[in-house]
Amino acid sequence: MGMIGGGIGSFIGDVHRKASSIDGMIELVCGAFSSSAEKSKKSGQELFLPANRCYGSFEEMILEEKKLPEGERMDFVSIVTPNHMHFAPAKMALENGFHVVCDKPMTLTIEEAEALEKLVTETGLIFALTHNYPGNPMVKQARAMVANGDLGAIRKVNVQYHQGWLATAVEKTGQKQASWRVDPTKSGVGGALGDIGTHAENLVEFITGMELSEIAADLGRVGAGRVLDDDGNVLLRFANGAKGTMSFSQIATGEENNLIVRVYGEKGSLEWHQENPNELITRWLDEPKKIYTPNGNNLYPESIAASRIPSGHPEGYLEAFANVYRNFATHLMARLEGKPIQRPDYPTVADGVRGVKFIHAAVKSDKNNAAWVKL
């Protein structure tokens, strides 16, 4: 793996490095860790990389790595930069024959997202988007239960993602994570919408297997002087006729990472809380409530495959992230060895396109007094 962004002191870069290394399948061999060449090389040295693999820019890294013999050069890039710096390195990596793992949202515009999707199709290269929550064993159990028809036809979906870390003007205190997220030149047209609303959108589509067809969004800007949304409510309509609601916020005072999804079918329902990830709660028309746990009873193979440790031990954020990297690496190794593989079990460039379209549809709806907008 070669990393773009994520220098020393970066929150998400460190998460990616830890998660990608958990299974021993991926090694960080090079990086362009900052827009500053000096900071990039210093970060590489602190990560114990050889000096000649610590690059001053992502352009230099991609071109120099391409010159190395196969087996020595990086196999893929992991892009962990702020949103505005996703497209250019992803495009250049694909054009130069490198596979890509990219943080979400994939790009700032729909045109950029579709351009990457076209490049992936033309090159045949692998592209993973790091929505990590689908990597959780109980989320995979939820998806398998819906796909198997256990809940019957899905009628209603409810998802919330509430945080409170922007309840005060922390961006004015020099807090790095806040400052770029409230800046439309770096974050794009969506604030909390792009940061956590896309996680909610992806999670709902992943579990239900249903695509959103229309949304109506009412976005809020509670923080004084903020241009981008920090709060929002969205009505959802799915292609199969089901309906739902979404609430996301980064000004919900006291909340930490309160992501909850509920799916209601004609025979039963399920509920998953990110802050208590080891339990999947199900309720039924004619049976008592059941709670599923990792490595517990009556789990589908997809859930078992995603669980790493014995029953009763907590699995969460890093492990879910690691499952995205492990499944990507498994796919990539099969490709390198010329072996067939089934549909990869990680978010792809198509999911990235849908996420960007969701952001722009929500912004369009909000500007038109929460009118319905087709995706």
Chosen domain end from 90, 125, 160: 125
Mean pLDDT computed over every residue of the chain: 96
User: Are residue 182 and residue 107 in the same domain, yes or no?
Assistant: no
Please give the average per-residue pLDDT across 44-49, as a whole number. 96
Q: Where does residue 25 fall: left (phi above 0), alpha (psi -120 to 50 degrees), or beta otherwise?
A: alpha
Confidence of residue 268 (pLDDT cuts 50, 70, 90): very high
Within a domain: 163: yes
pLDDT digits (tens, 9 = 90+) for 118-167: 999 999 999 999 999 999 999 999 999 999 999 999 999 999 999 999 99
pLDDT at 342 over 80: no
Burial class from Cβ neighbours inside 10 Å (0-12, 13-18, 19+) for residue 90 reads buried
CATH of the domain at 56: 3.40.50.720
Cβ atoms within 10 Å, residue 73: 18
Domain of residue 155: give its range.
134-311+353-374
For the stretch 50-54, contacts whose Cβ atoms lie closer than 8 Å and that sit 24 or more positions apart, written own/partner, are 53/29, 54/30
Whether 92 and 143 map to the same domain: the answer is: no
Q: Specify the higher pLDDT residue, 310 or 3.
A: 3
HSE of 219, CA atoms in CB hemisphere, 13 A:
25
Which pTM value belongs to this model? 0.96
**What pLDDT, in 10s, does the model give residues 78-117?**
999 999 999 999 999 999 999 999 999 999 999 999 999 9
pLDDT of 343 strictly over 80:
no
Does 332 reside within a domain?
no
339: number of Cβ within 10 Å: 8
Task: Locate all alpha helices (DSSP H) within 174-224, ordered by sequence.
Answer: 176-181, 184-187, 192, 198-208
Is residue 294 situated within a structural domain? Answer: yes
- Say if residue 161 is in the same domain as residue 294: yes
User: Are residues 184 and 295 part of one domain?
Assistant: yes
pLDDT at residue 2 above 80?
yes
Tally of structural domains, the chain: 2
Give tens-digit pLDDT for 158-191. 999 999 999 999 999 989 899 999 999 999 999 9
Question: Domain with 157 in it: what CATH number?
Answer: 3.30.360.10
| Amino acid letter, residue 30 | C
pLDDT higher than 80, residue 344: no
Domain end call among 125, 142, 159: 125
Domain identity same for 43 and 157: no
- Whether 277 and 366 share a structural domain: yes
What's the count of helices (H) and strands (E) in the chain, helices before strands? 13, 14
Residue 160 belongs to a domain: yes
Same domain? For 178 and 266 the reply is yes
Buried b (16+ CB within 10 A) or exposed e, 302-321: ebeebbbeeeeeebebebbb
Mark 192-230 as b/e (b = at least 16 C-beta within 10 Å): bbbbbbbbbbbbbbbbbebebebbbbebbbebeebebbb
Determine how many CB atoms are found less than 10 A away from the CB of residue 146.
20
Residue 164 has what pLDDT? 98
**327 is a domain residue:** no
Q: Are 230 and 220 in contact (CB under 8 A)?
A: yes
Is 344 among the domain residues?
no
Write phi, then psi, for 316 (nearest 5 degrees): -150, -130
- Do 155 and 267 fall into the same domain? yes
Retrieve residue 162's tokens.
Answer: 């509430």
Same domain? For 76 and 161 the reply is: no
174 in any annotated domain:
yes
Asked if the structure places residue 177 within a domain, the reply is: yes
Same domain, yes or no, for 42 and 172? no
Last residue of a domain, one of 59, 93, 125: 125
Tell me, yes or no, whether 174 and 26 share the same domain.
Answer: no
Task: For residue 105, say if its preceding peptide bond is cis, omega within 30 degrees of 0.
Answer: yes
113 and 153 assigned to the same domain? no
